[in-house]
Amino acid sequence: MVSLMIPLATPRLDSDLIAESRARPEAFAALFDRYASMLYRYVSRRLGPEVAEDLVGETFLVAFRRRDRYDLARPDARPWLFGIVSKLVSRHHRDEAARYRALTRSPFDDVAESPAERVEDGVSATAVRPLLAAALARLSKGDRDVLLLIAWADLSYDEVAQSLGIPVGTVRSRLNRARRKVRESLGHTNPLRDEE
């Protein structure tokens, strides 16, 4: 039988990469290339760039060591990786709160921002940033994880549930609570807008 393989340049699923890495460990680097920047950005926002670099490295080491336990029925590895990240971030719980508090005092390097960017962002947004940071500092660990996985990691409710190993209902209730607190701190409380 002729054995011709068609070299289709189809991008591969994360689960395929992980499966391959079980035989060929170095294949795991492809997962790093895919997601390291994304995770780095997420962790930098929460803990600052100094911690982020190391934490992302650690995330991939943990993921690599657990690759045999990855559920290959899940094509997208992001929830899994963000789950590991969340655990590692939680060790820096105090630093994170301190970081947000610091941001309420000396906020952001917006000086270099171009006028176009400022329009894009919305002028009012800049003004509320210290308030938002203060609200984040006050959230419980669990609520903050859910809120930021949704807002900053762009995960869906189901993916957040998977990441944190909690039911989707819990994701919803934590998110509602977190958002209510954020809105309260902005002074925008409107009971009619609360989902629950």
**Beta carbon of residue 3, minimum distance to another protein (angstroms, whole number):** 6
The secondary structure of the chain as a DSSP string is ---------PPPPHHHHHHHHHHSGGGGHHHHHHHHHHHHHHHHHHH-HHHHHHHHHHHHHHHHHTGGGS-TT----HHHHHHHHHHHHHTTHHHHHHHHHHHHHS----TT--HHHHHHH-HHHHHHHHHHHHHHHHS-HHHHHHHHHHHTS---HHHHHHHHT--HHHHHHHHHHHHHHHHHHHT---GGG---
CB nearer another protein, residue 32 or residue 87: 32
CB nearer another protein, residue 94 or residue 106: 106
What distance in Å separates the CA atoms of residue 90 and residue 92, rounded to the nearest whole number?
A: 5
CB nearer another protein, residue 89 or residue 103: 103
CB nearer another protein, residue 16 or residue 87: 16
**Beta carbon of residue 94, minimum distance to another protein (angstroms, whole number):** 19
**Beta carbon of residue 177, minimum distance to another protein (angstroms, whole number):** 12
Place of tokens 């070299």: 7
CB nearer another protein, residue 97 or residue 151: 151
**Beta carbon of residue 90, minimum distance to another protein (angstroms, whole number):** 19
**Beta carbon of residue 92, minimum distance to another protein (angstroms, whole number):** 16
